[in-house]
Amino acid sequence: MEALKIILICVTVLYFLVYIILAIRSRKPIKTIFFSALLGILSMTLINLTSKFTGVCIPVNGYTASVAASGGLPATVALVLVKTVIGV
- Mean pLDDT of the 51-72 span: 88
First to last CA, the chain: 12
Q: Are 59 and 44 in contact (CB under 8 A)?
A: no
Domains of the chain, by residue range, sit at 2-86
Single out the residue of 66, 57, 75 nearest to residue 11, CA to CA. 75
Percent of the chain with pLDDT over 70: 98
Residue 73 corresponds to which amino acid? L
pLDDT digits (tens, 9 = 90+) for 6-36: 887 788 788 778 877 887 888 888 888 889 8
pLDDT at 84 over 70: yes
- Exposure string of 50-73, with b = 16+ CB inside 10 Å and e = fewer, is eeeeeeeebeeeeebeebbbebbe
